[in-house]
Amino acid sequence: ETGVTQTPRHLVMGMTNKKSLKCEQHLGHNAMYWYKQSAKKPLELMFVYSLEERVENNSVPSRFSPECPNSSHLFLHLHTLQPEDSALYLCASSRYRGALHFGNGTRLTVT
């Protein structure tokens, strides 16, 4: 058990669907992250919530929308995705600028 739990593990959705990915940590961390991992590409940071501030990668399309209701929970809301959005989506948490702890990811397939 990694301490960071992501659900669901696998998700298949059509381009017109709306779905959400969930992440939960009970490590007492105060920063949470969403990363996208595509085949043969480096990990791409999508969003960071740290010390109640949100930082986002400006290249992330608006069809991805994060939500962080408290320091233990993080969501990624998905709508009208494209097939190229198929990837492994990883959540992580840390103390401020500390070692990152990752969940096992959600494998997303957009059909």
**Contacts to another protein by CB under 8 A:** 2, 4, 6, 31, 33, 41-43, 45, 48, 50, 53, 55, 90, 92, 96-105, 107
Would you say 41 or 70 has its CB closer to another protein?
Answer: 41
Residues 6+ apart with CB under 8 A from 100: 33, 92, 93, 94
Would you say 53 or 84 has its CB closer to another protein?
Answer: 53
29 backbone dihedrals φ, ψ, rounded to 5°: -80, 160
83 backbone dihedrals φ, ψ, rounded to 5°: -55, -35
The one-letter code for the residue type at 108 is L
Would you say 13 or 100 has its CB closer to another protein?
Answer: 100
Minimum CB distance to another protein, residue 68 (Å): 14
Would you say 82 or 109 has its CB closer to another protein?
Answer: 109
Name which of 66, 36, 61, 63 is nearest 48 in CA terms: 66
83: helix, strand or coil: helix
Minimum CB distance to another protein, residue 23 (Å): 11
Minimum CB distance to another protein, residue 20 (Å): 19
